[in-house]
Structure 1
Amino acid sequence: MAQSRARRITSPTSIVQLDYEYGIPEAKPESGSWTRFVLISDTHASTFSVPDGDVLLHSGDLTRRGTLHELKRTMEWLYALPHPVKIVIAGNRDFSLDRVWYDDHWQETGKQDKPAVYEPPDPLFELLEGPRAKEANVVYLHNARHSFTAGGREWTVYGSALSPNFGARIRAFGYDAEDADAVVSALPQADILMTHGPPRGILDRTTHNAFAGCPALTTRVSSLRPRLHVFGHIHESHGAYVHEWIPGNRPTAQTARNRTVTDFELVDANPQTVFINAANTPKLAGNARTPRVGSEGFKPVILDLLN
């Protein structure tokens, strides 16, 4: 539990930095060969400073309401970032990228003072998959596996925007509880798993003390055991947890309510999965002052993995 609000989490094969001075995060270890991942999610068309690294992973909610204007703003920002590899998935707020859902529900995606405008698909996917995206080393994944080289080795990643329907909010890429087993059984083995929604019981607690993650996803991840599982969606549970795969030790972790800033170190060398809720748009309980997107408590997460 304490790990999820640690400033820095270390293990023999991973180093997580959740809190650091902008522009001067700790360097990769000098001993051994490491790959630096920088993790963001739920940026909702906001832009902010992002540390450099070998790989940038964005776990969805690129926009707030799925408009072309919002997506263009986000993608121009991502194009300009220096990371040699950038992997992106969508999220439930990226309405127009789920074309099956959107064609039936697009009129519901507006606001009271701003009616919805239908967004045709071609300009949207041109931003994600067109020449400018390719030149900027952006790869958009939806229910797809991808291989890339970074940090001196080849990595595999699988990305899916799907997340469980929770409550009555409008949402894209959603699935109902009765379909969860079938949905998550399609997730294949990969070094890195990117989903928009969290597993149940892992960095998924809302401000109302509900657990919004998917139970079937927790079971599936326990079988797949990727090196990294990154997600977002539940903003208030931004944090990280390093799980050791010991028989009978089911993964579970939540962000501490007091948001204590500490260091946490694991010394065992058992197989591990790093779980990261990388949401950058703040959401805090009660009357707490809301910080800026991507700022204190919701910064991009830096993860170094031993190759």
Structure 2
Amino acid sequence: MTSTALPRRTRITSPSSVVQLEYPPQAPLPKPASSTWTRFVLLSDTHTQIFPGVPDGDVLLHSGDLTRRGTFRDLRRTMEWLYALPHPAKIIIAGNRDFALDREWYDANWTYTGRLDRDAVWEPPDPISELLTGPRAVAANIVYLRDEEYKFRTRPGGREWTVYGSPQSPNFGARVRAFGYDASDAEAVVSAFPQTDILLTHGPPYNLLDLTTKDANAGCPALAARLAELRPRLHVFGHIHEARGAYVHLWARPDADALGAQNASQMDDAQNGFVQDAEVEETVPEGEQTVFVNASNWPSGPNATRNGEPVAMGGPGVQPVIVDLLE
């Protein structure tokens, strides 16, 4: 499958959402003036690489791969960075490289991490968990989700948002990593995902912002089918660095019943950060529009260089994505 050669968009707007994929450093567009909008700032696949210039917002979402080598040292570096960010709510999940957070996998496979870190040793769980759920994390407004739901408001009397976070992603190729599941288990995994406003997963759905540099779709077909039932307001994921981008999906269109083959033309347009429409003009009821974002900050594939020069972590083309949603 190849992507349609559309212009790369830096902003997508609809009556109930504004997505900023690129913006001047330190100067993103302001949140819409009404108090009934909530600003989400999206990160993913930071892999222990911290960077300045994360925009302010009401809610920070991180969709996993907090670390590169899955160690306490790596996670501590990332969490110190997240602790210091000013967002009133910071909701995070793990990813397949956050080895020590999947204890069953880690205890059986921790020697695998020696391929990435020659000094790898088995690490106990308590100090690692403390970074995510201990007093410093609580004081910094960190909420760590592992296949669970969280409810919150960003202002008194405002909307109660629900978010469900899952670190699980399909085992892809011969590599089996933390929080991985086989294709035979996929339906059981995703059937546990409830109705929610915001879905936070590490892996993408099949055929949507999941195209690798080897022209393979690495997303989960079962997740794609489940999304047609859940229809969240916002689905944030990462994992496939080179497919970073955003797409606004209108479920009410005749060909939009599923994220599958019958909708392939729209999905083609969505690959690698391309979108079919910069402006979505239809006014649609809640549950009929989903903003999909692959929020990877790791420069890779078409995002690895800009004007012939390497892109820094979190730099042009891989900045934190900003999504404003109308309550």
TM-score range, shorter chain: over 0.9
Question: 1:130 and 1:113, CA in 2 relative to 1: closer, same or farther beyond 3 A?
Answer: closer
1:196 pairs, out of 189, 196, 202, with: 202
1:70-219 equivalences under 5 Å are: 70-111=74-115, 114-151=118-155, 152-219=158-225
Displacement of 1:147 in angstroms is 0.3
Displacement of 1:263 in angstroms is 7.9
CA distance in 1, matches of 2:138, 2:219: 33
TM-score by length of 1: 0.94
CA distance in 2, matches of 1:93, 1:227: 27
Displacement of 1:114 in angstroms is 1.1
Question: 1:191 and 1:286, CA in 2 relative to 1: closer, same or farther beyond 3 A?
Answer: closer
| Aligned equivalent of 1:302 | 322
Q: Would the aligned equivalents of 2:45 and 2:241 in 1 still touch at CA under 8 Å?
A: yes
Listed one character per residue, the Cα deviations across residues 247-285 of structure 1 (whole Å, up to 9, x for unaligned) are 43134355566x789981000012200000000011115
Listed one character per residue, the Cα deviations across residues 211-259 of structure 1 (whole Å, up to 9, x for unaligned) are 00000000001100000000000000100000001243134355566x7
Displacement of 1:5 in angstroms is 3.8
Displacement of 1:79 in angstroms is 0.3
- TM-align CA RMSD: 2.2
1:217-228 equivalences under 5 Å are: 217-228=223-234
The alignment partner of 1:150 has SS state of: coil
Amino acid at match of 1:242: V
Question: 1:287 and 1:127, CA in 2 relative to 1: closer, same or farther beyond 3 A?
Answer: closer
CA distance in 2, matches of 1:26, 1:218: 31
Specify every segment of 5 or more residues in structure 2 that has no aligned partner in the other structure, as ranges. Answer: 260-266
Q: Would the aligned equivalents of 1:3 and 1:264 in 2 still touch at CA under 8 Å?
A: no
Percent identity for Structure 1 against Structure 2: 61
The alignment partner of 1:190 has SS state of: coil
Q: Would the aligned equivalents of 2:163 and 2:196 in 1 still touch at CA under 8 Å?
A: yes
CA distance in 2, matches of 1:163, 1:204: 12
CA distance in 2, matches of 1:102, 1:29: 44
CA distance in 2, matches of 1:285, 1:3: 14
Question: 1:240 and 1:7, CA in 2 relative to 1: closer, same or farther beyond 3 A?
Answer: same
Q: Would the aligned equivalents of 1:5 and 1:240 in 2 still touch at CA under 8 Å?
A: no
Specify every segment of 5 or more residues in structure 1 that has no aligned partner in the other structure, as ranges. Answer: none
Q: Would the aligned equivalents of 1:5 and 1:239 in 2 still touch at CA under 8 Å?
A: no
**More strand by percentage:** 1
| Aligned equivalent of 2:43 | 40
Q: Would the aligned equivalents of 2:270 and 2:276 in 1 still touch at CA under 8 Å?
A: no
